[in-house]
Amino acid sequence: MRFWERMRRMKYEEFLRRKEHHVISSGFSKDRKEMNDKMFAWQKDIVFWALKKGRAALFEDCGLGKTIQQLEWAQSVSEHTERPVLIVAPLAVAEQTKREGEKFGYCVTVCRSMSDVSAGVNITNYEMLDHFTAESFGGVVLDESSILKNFTSKTRTQIIDLFRETEYKLSCTATPSPNDYMELGNQAEFLGVMSRTEMLATFFIHDGANTSKWRLKGHAEDKFWGWLAEWAVVLTSPADLGYPADEYILPEMHTHEHLVEVHQETMNDNLTLFTEVAQTLSERREARRNSLKERCEKAAELVKTDSGQWLVWCDLNDESETLTKLIDDAVEIRGSDKPRDKAERLRRFTDGEIRVLVTKPSIAGFGLNWQGCHNMIFVGLSDSYEMMYQAIRRCYRFGQENTVNVHIVTSAAEGAVKANVERKERQCAEMTAEMVKHTKEILEEEIRGTVRIVIPYNPQVEMKIPEWLTT
């Protein structure tokens, strides 16, 4: 009996071995001494690893220097392939990346079409990709790649297909999967590591019924984390991989909740059905509209309490318009604004020329660095935790020297939204901790082993000291 049990076990283990997926490195080496001297040692190590991989992902928290890492990677790939490299970023990020690139010594060309492309590093936004030919580039970088899930499945597929044959790829984001592991499939598919469907079939099992929930197979858990660590770095601090992190300590952040009362005369008749808590999506939208006046007035009042810069996040165009009227020196950015106008206003806020910026997380919530601002207001909440997380991280990031104050203005009817966001926040924190925990050891060994190859000294011949040294 024991014999047959061993045979069955051997067959099952053989089955698992056959199901293993290993990411084959297809890149090249670059001496760390040749990299930008403004980079930290750990940043150089990660870039070296990513270049060696050829296709890799950097899931690093906001403020850890993804910009300089992706610029160094892109410049290195361009030099190696003797072809231009394209960085694809959210609309608001391109000009900032160009400016940061110049600060670090990189020449970055902002492009709207192929006619603008120059040798070296180029950058455009996701909405302009139809104007580019992927075959012309030696490599591509997706900046804030988690934005892929905000597009339609058709658009995501187009982006993945467009660069399917591109030799060198880098995916960069702080939040690859704030809600569940499924979003990792988009990242893996873009890189050409594994399709999302294959990832699910290999490592996950469906919970059944009509849910969209998948969970890791018991026997596949270790294999999954090992597979992830082969192509992705998960980092909340340099300390996660054993590097010194004295300069990477976040300041305090205080969250202030403000609950406004909705005046009876502003309520629609149907709101009386759910004055306590709006549950459905349509109810929540109606509740937001009915409390718009009170929430905007409260936000305007808060802005007057501090003369410094303020970020005012809203979700509805009517909110944005009302806030701009209520706050004398507020500048509004709307989705319908011309791209050049958006970029100019964002630059002015970055440079401190605008005191109060009113906009939406979907417009300016990704990729921008605003450590000069430490006060922000959410005039209501949407159900997207990732949007809120990214918006907060524009200011609350490494390099921020002040306590960050986050004000949330809601009505009682929006309580369900707040509870939903808080649930997603807890889920994200747990998942990030799991990702770091499970990949830390593998990555630390792989990155350090790849970067610092040490040849041990094993003498084969006994060393004899010359007589003249002993006399």
β-pairing, 214-216 vs 204-206, is antiparallel
Dihedral pair phi/psi, residue 226, rounded to 5°: -65, -40
Percentage, residues of the chain above pLDDT 70: 82
- Residue 292, token pair as written in the block: 């718009």
The band of 68, judged by pLDDT with boundaries at 50, 70 and 90, is very high
Q: Of 329, 330, 405, 407, whose CA–CA distance to 374 is shortest?
A: 405
On the question of pLDDT at 78 being above 80, the answer is yes
pLDDT in tens, 140-176: 999 988 777 766 677 788 889 999 999 999 999 887 7
pLDDT at 453: 37
Contact (Cβ atoms closer than 8 angstroms) between residue 250 and residue 243: no
Looking at residue 445, its pLDDT comes to: 79
Token duo for residue 91: 């609309």
Please give the residue that has the higher pLDDT: either 30 or 265: 30
**Distance separating alpha carbons of residues 49 and 56, to the nearest angstrom:** 9
pLDDT at 448 over 50: yes
253-423: CATH number: 3.40.50.300
Mean pLDDT of the chain: 83
Domain ranges of the chain: 39-247, 253-423
Q: How far apart are CA 267 and CA 287, in angstroms?
A: 8
CA dihedral (367, 125, 133, 55) in degrees, to 10, reads 10
**253-423 shares the fold of 39-247:** yes
Give the C-alpha separation, 428 to 419, whole Å: 14
- 403 vs 251: CA distance, rounded Å: 6
Q: Contact 317/337 with Cβ under 8 angstroms?
A: no
The one-letter amino acid code at 101 reads: G
Characterize 387-415 residue by residue with b for buried, 16 or more Cβ atoms within 10 angstroms of its Cβ, and e for exposed: bbbbbbbbbbbbebeeebbbbbbbbebbb
* Largest CA-CA distance found in the chain, in angstroms, rounded: 106
3-state secondary structure (DSSP) of residue 361: helix
For 326-360, write each residue's pLDDT tens digit: 999 999 999 889 888 988 999 899 999 999 999 99
Give residue 250's pLDDT. Answer: 85
Which residues are CB-neighbours of 459 under 8 A, at least 6 positions away? none
Q: Which helix (H) or strand (E) holds 376?
A: strand 375-379
pLDDT per residue over 8-42, tens digit each? 555 545 544 554 555 667 899 999 999 999 999 99
- Tell the CATH topology of 39-247: Rossmann fold (3.40.50)
Q: Write the CA distances from 118 to 88, 113, 163, 186, 274, integer angstroms.
A: 15, 11, 19, 29, 58
Between CA 223 and CA 343 the distance in angstroms is 44
Q: Alpha-carbon distance 333 to 208, whole Å?
A: 44
Min mean pLDDT across 54-63, 92-101, 334-343, 423-432 is at 423-432
What tens digit of pLDDT does each residue of 207-239 get? 766 556 778 888 888 888 889 989 999 888 999
The pTM assigned to this predicted structure is 0.79
Q: pLDDT tens digit string along 181-210?
A: 778 888 999 999 999 889 988 998 887 665
Residue with tokens 């206003």: 345
Q: Dihedral (C-alpha) 363, 366, 368, 369: value to the nearest 10 degrees? A: 130
Cα distance between residue 331 and residue 180, in whole Å: 36
Please check whether residue 342 is in contact with residue 295, taking contact to mean a CB–CB distance below 8 angstroms: no
pLDDT of 444: 79
